[in-house]
Every structure is written in C-alpha cells, then in structure tokens.
A and B are shown apart, each in its own frame.
Chain A
Amino acid sequence: MIALLIRDLRLAMRAGGGFGLSLAFFLIVVVLVPFGVGPEMSLLSRIAPGILWVGALLACLLSLDRIFALDYEDGSLDLLATSPLPAEGIVTVKAIAHWLTTGLPLVVIAPVLGILLGLPEQGYFWIVLSLLLGTPALSVIGTFGAALTVGIKRGGLLLSLLVLPLYVPTLIYGAELARRGTQGLETGTPLLMLAGITCAVTALLPFASAAVLRINLR
C-alpha cells in the first residue's frame, strides 16, 4: 500500500499544477476577504482565524473530485479493485495522499496568509495547530464524498453539497480552537473534540468509503 501512496504522490507532483492550485485558491480567498469587508485591520485580525479556516476548507473542497476521478477514467480503479489491496486500504491511502498534497501545504502556508489578515502573534501557533489537527479529517471526509460521486459526470458541485454539511463539526471546532487560543481563552474542549473527530473519522469512515467505492464499481 505504500506503493500506492508513492504512486499517487508521484502522479500529483507530475500533474502540472497539482497542489499549487489549492494553495493559489487559498491565497485568492484570503485576498478577496479584505476587499469584501474593508481593510480595517482591527476587524480583519478578529476574524482572521475563521477566514483562514474557511479558506483552507474551500481549498480542500476544490481538489476532492480528483481523488478518484483520474483512476476511474483510465481504468486503474478497476485494476486496483481487483488487486490484493483491500478497498479500505485504498481509500485510506487516497485520503493520506490528498492530505499530503493539499492539506499539509495549506497548513504550512496559513501563517503567511495570516500576516495579510493581521493575525495576532499568539494566533500563529493556534492556527497551525488547529489546521494540522483538522485537515486530515477534511481529507478523510472528502474522500468519502469523492467515493460517493465517482461515477457521476460533472459531480463536482454535488460533491461539494454532500461534503459541506459533513465538514461543519470539524470547521466549528477547528475555528473555535484557533479563535480561543488566539484570545488566550481555554482551549481544552475544542482541542479534544477536533482531535477526536479526526481520529474517529480516520478509523471508521474508510469502511463506509470502501463500501461506497465497491458499489460504484459494480
């Protein structure tokens, strides 16, 4: 299964614009917000953790339909399904690959974008921590959504509709963690909940994703 991970990472790197696109989208969202709400730094710095979280989430959403689409289109998915690899393993590897190529870069670039939004000094640690804990959940949940819509033509919009309500708890706890940490408030609850969500979905959701993938390959 490591072989699958390496293959997917290689494919993403060579895909020409692979993970650069999500980073670019994140940048776009963050740049658009001040144009939308006004340049007042005091306002921006208050909402910075939330904007960064929403931007990261949307950037993740953008790259979800690629998770299975390429393999589905060229027949590789059928070959993978008839290989010794278990479907649960395949979807987990796909989620990890998505996180490494989309989630992790977002985490790394978030502090830089935080500067644009006047994120307070203490905020940098908390935004990175919350995104680090939360983006894996976004990848795992997104992989489930991608598996649901793998056969549907132009299913990107439907994928977004399906995944968005599933993202809400992660977003709430992640953004709250970032916000409360920045303000120096107590962060125990959102931290535990966010970590809990990530662990739980990673452990359990692949079973649902695998079942759905098998249904779609019938």
Chain B
Amino acid sequence: MSLQVSNLSVSRGGRTLLEGVTFDVDAGHALILRGPNGLGKTTLLRTLAGLQKPEAGTVHLPEEDAVYAGHLDGIKATLTVRENLMFWARVFGTQSIDRALRTFELSDLLDRSGGMLSAGQKRRLGLARLMVTGRKFWMLDEPTVSLDQASVAQFADMIRVHLASGGSAIMATHIDLGLGADARVLDLSAFRATTPKLHASEEAFL
C-alpha cells in the first residue's frame, strides 16, 4: 500500500511538463508537492490518479488502494451531507459513514444541504468522503484553498489522524501544515522538463 514512482514524465496539451520524477511514499507518511503555479502539480496528481497516461516512466500504486480529490470539491449543493456521503459509500462499496462523520465532526450537519456549508465545512466533507471510500492512499490537489487558519489547523489534525491509522497521502499545497516528521516536502521544480522538450508527437513535425 505504498506509492512508488519511477522516472515519470507527465505532459499537458502536447508539452512535457515534468520528467524523471521519482519518489516513494510509504504507509503512515505524507508527501507534500511544492512548486510554482503551472509547473504541473495538478497534472502529476491526475496522472497518478489514472485520469491521464504518463509520457514515460512507471507508477506503482495498486488501484484499489487509492482515491483522488481534485481541487474542485465535487459536493452536490442540492444533496444533504448524509446523501453526499452515502452516495460515495455505496459507490466504493463501504458500509457506513459513521466513523467519517465522527472524525470530521459532521454529525450535526447531517441534514444540511451541501450548498449551505461554509468553506471549512465543505473541506471537511471532502475529507470525510475520502475516509468513507475506505481507501488508504489519499491524493489531494490544493485541499486548503479558501480555508482560514483555524480550518487549516483542523485539516492538518485530520491528516495526522489518517497517517496515524496507517494511511498515506500525497498532496499539492502551498501551505505549511506542520505535519512534522511524517511528511516530506518535494519541490517539483527540480523535475521541470528541460526546454525545449516537446511531446513526442509534436517533435515529429519538426
């Protein structure tokens, strides 16, 4: 239940963004991806999640262990918290949402509809969804956007709980979460594709 990435190259829109990306993430640990906007953090996460194919290299991550959360939260405004979570529980085949509700303090918001939640509550709901899937490897793209300091601290606590129970995470975020020794930071600028590097298919035209 660990992620091993080896010599990975990812591209977007015909241009190779990152190449030679190599790292491991083991159980109980988190990897924080850093780098300027447009570098390819989102593209890397989407590739790891299986939404797009890598240019080159290998990703070793058993599919049934991983779950992805994009930076749009995917919470349906017209469904209640319970309906949102129960849907994902059924989709991922897990039985109950109680533990997630307790851990993320959503129990008294059960019948509140998604559109009436604050930004912090939505983020907690997004994380609750990850727990409800029962999968241990979390991939998060900018999970702390629009959260205030208290909510960020809460988010960090919840990640700590996840790591402590044997889960792992990889996330792209600018914010220092203070996760301590369990979290490594990886600056992706080191893997920026050396210019001029074009997608192989574009190369063919030259």
Q: Complex Cα distance A206/B79, Å?
A: 27
Q: Judge whether A4 and B78 touch: CB under 8 Å.
A: no
Give the residue among A2, A3, A82, A83 with the most B Cβ atoms within 10 A.
A82
Interface size class of B (residues with CB under 8 A): 20 to 34
A75 to B75, CA, bound (A): 8
Assess the A7–B79 pair: CB atoms within 8 A.
yes
Instruction: Given A3-B91, A74-B73, A76-B74, check contact A82 B49 (CB 8 Å).
Output: yes
**Complex interface residues of chain A between 7 and 50 (CB less than 8 A to chain B):** 7, 10-11, 14-15
Q: In the complex, which residues of chain A have a beta carbon less than 8 angstroms from the beta carbon of B57?
A: none
Q: Is B60 an interface residue (CB 8 A)?
A: no
Residue in A4, A217, A218 whose Cβ sees the most chain B Cβ within 10 Å: A218
User: Which positions in A face B, CB cutoff 8 Å?
Assistant: 2-4, 6-7, 10-11, 14-15, 73-76, 78-85, 217-218
Q: Does B178 contact A (CB under 8 A)?
A: no
Whether B91 pairs with A82 at a CB distance below 8 angstroms is no
What's the least CB distance linking A3 to chain B, in Å? 4
Cβ-based interface call for B52 (8 A): yes
Minimum Cβ distance to chain A for residue B44 (Å): 14
The distance in angstroms between the C-alpha atoms of A2 and B74, with both chains bound, is 19
**C-alpha spacing A10/B75, complex, angstroms:** 14
- Asked whether any CB of chain A lies closer than 8 Å to the CB of B72, the reply is yes
Within 52-66 of B, Cβ neighbours of A (below 8 Å) are at 52-53, 64, 66
List, in ascending order, chain B residues with CB within 8 A of A217's CB.
51-52
Residues of B near any A CB (own CB < 8 A): 46, 49-53, 64, 66-76, 78-79, 83, 86-88, 90-93, 133
Knowing A7-B79, A10-B79, A11-B76, the reply to whether A83 touches B91 (Cβ < 8 A) is: yes
Contact assessment for B87 and A7 in the assembled complex, using a CB-CB cutoff below 8 Å: yes
B91 with A75: CB separation less than 8 A: no
Identify the 6 closest CB pairs spanning chains A and B, nearest first: A75-B72, A3-B90, A14-B78, A76-B74, A75-B74, A82-B68
Q: Which residues of chain B come closer than 8 Å to A14, judged between CB atoms?
A: 78-79
Chain B residues whose CB sits within 8 angstroms of the CB of A3 once the complex forms: 86-87, 90-91
Chain B, residue nearest A78 (CB): B70
Q: Report A-chain residues with C-beta under 8 Å of the C-beta of B51.
A: 78, 81-82, 217-218
A10 proximity list for chain B (CB < 8 A): 78-79, 83
Contact present for B74 and A79 (CB under 8 Å):
yes
Report B66 CB to chain A, min CB distance, Å. Answer: 8
